[in-house]
Amino acid sequence: KNEVEQSPQNLTAQEGEFITINCSYSVGISALHWLQQHPGGGIVSLFMLSSGKKKHGRLIATINIQEKHSSLHITASHPRDSAVYICAVRPQGKLIFGTGTLLAVQP
């Protein structure tokens, strides 16, 4: 079993829909990261969380440390949000990555 599990693996949405991507992990962590990777592009850090909730524009990330679970929400989704979204956890030092969620937002 992977230490970081994401769901769904693939997600297709219509423009304007509310999107949720989930991440569950099995190790103790000091922080959790949400990353975005566009096709052929580099990786961009969206959020780093150790507790609670963070919001940046249309993106919201939450984490429940007790349940070892985090969610990334996208409100009013747009085709430019199409990318791979990756959850990563930091136990000590290194980052451990989930396999990513491929999101396609159709106009």
Residue with Cβ nearer other proteins (55 or 78): 55
- The distance in angstroms from the start CA to the end CA of the chain is 36
69-88: contacts with other proteins (CB under 8 A): 86, 88
Q: How far is the CB of 84 from other proteins (least distance, A)?
A: 9
Asked if 54 touches other proteins (CB under 8 A), the answer is no
Nearest to 6 by CA among 55, 56, 64, 70: 70
Residue with Cβ nearer other proteins (7 or 14): 7
Residues 20 and 103: beta-carbon distance below 8 Å: no
Asked if 93 touches other proteins (CB under 8 A), the answer is yes
Residues 4 and 97: beta-carbon distance below 8 Å: yes
How many residues contact other proteins, by CB under 8 A? 20
Asked if 57 touches other proteins (CB under 8 A), the answer is no
Please name the amino acid found at residue 29. I
Among 10, 20, 30, 75, binds other proteins (CB under 8 A): 30
**101-106 and 10-14 strand pairing:** parallel
Give the separation between CA 69 and CA 28, rounded to whole angstroms.
Answer: 11
> Which residues lie near other proteins (CB under 8 A)?
30-31, 33, 35, 42-45, 48, 86, 88, 90, 93-100
